[in-house]
């Protein structure tokens, strides 16, 4: 009876060790993947923050271009 109990305890310890090892490994992998996703989100947020600045610059460029086009058209076709 004692040998059966010893085998059961050893099996239990082996099962617990394997289970805890799997949980720890899974936790580390999950943490790593979350960290990688956070880096991607940070890059995206930087891009999203710069877009309004770029849009404003495009608006200014378009306005200046329209002014230049108006100047050129009045030089070529002066108003009577």
- Please tell me the distance from the alpha carbon of residue 22 to that of residue 15, in angstroms, as a whole number: 11
The 8-class DSSP code of residue 47 comes to H
**24-79 confidence digits (pLDDT tens):** 999 999 999 999 999 999 888 888 788 888 999 999 999 999 999 988 888 777 77
Only one residue has tokens 């059961």, namely 8
Q: Give residue 77's pLDDT.
A: 76
Look at the block and give the residue holding tokens 């329209």: 66
Where b means 16+ CB within 10 Å and e means fewer, 24-43 reads eeeeeeeeeeeeeeeeeeee
User: How far is residue 73's CA from residue 70's CA, in Å, rounded to a whole number?
Assistant: 5
> Per the structure block, which two tokens stand in for 75?
């030089």
């Amino acid at each position: 009876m004692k040998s059966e109990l010893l085998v059961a305890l050893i099996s239990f310890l082996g099962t617990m060790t394997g289970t805890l090892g799997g949980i720890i490994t899974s936790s580390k992998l999950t943490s790593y993947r979350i960290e990688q996703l956070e880096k991607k989100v940070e890059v995206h947020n930087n891009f999203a923050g710069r877009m309004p600045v770029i849009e404003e610059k495009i608006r200014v460029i378009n306005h200046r271009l329209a002014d230049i086009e108006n100047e050129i058209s009045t030089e070529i076709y002066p108003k009577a």
